Amino acid sequence: MLSREAIIQKLKENGLKLTSQRLAIVDVLIKKGHLHPGAGFIYKEAKKKCPSISLSSVYANLNELTRSGIIKLLEFDGKENRCEGNLEEHINLICEHCGKITDFEVPVTLNQKEITRKTGFLITNNRLEYYGYCGECTKSKG
């Protein structure tokens, strides 16, 4: 995740205004320990600093932040989407019990050029996920 300053600079570069709603959302995103928050959580948290904020503004802002390359949205059908601040290629470990998402750096980057050469497919984005049960949930339940 970028620093607050870097995000604000990117926002300015993209001609986006620094509204109180937008900054409140950014502050939730950069808060440590709350990785990969969903729109609902961000709404609830941002409301503490900016009580007038609406849920539709949260959604609009998350889309805007995505367009500016500040975050990435992990979309899940049925479930809430989640925000991703780590834009480097990596694997998301998603716990099916507690919902926690952990980043795992890919030791050897898969050779995307080889895929393009073999198939003609031009890669612009990726989504690498392992589903299962995190260490804590495995210990407590089995």
Examine residue 123 and tell whether it contacts a copy of itself (CB under 8 A). yes
∠ CA(94), CA(59), CA(49), 5° rounding? 95
3-state secondary structure of 84: strand
CA 95 to CA 117: how far, in whole Å?
Answer: 35
Q: Which residues on adjacent β-strands are paired with residue 91?
A: 104, 128
Examine residue 18 and tell whether it contacts DNA (CB under 7 A). yes
CB of 60 to a copy of itself, least distance (A): 16
Chain residues in the site for DNA (CB under 7 A): 15-22, 38-40, 50, 52-57, 59-61, 63-64, 75, 77-81
Chain positions contacting a copy of itself, by CB under 8 A:
75-78, 81, 91, 93, 95-96, 102, 104, 106-108, 110, 112, 114-115, 118-136, 138-139
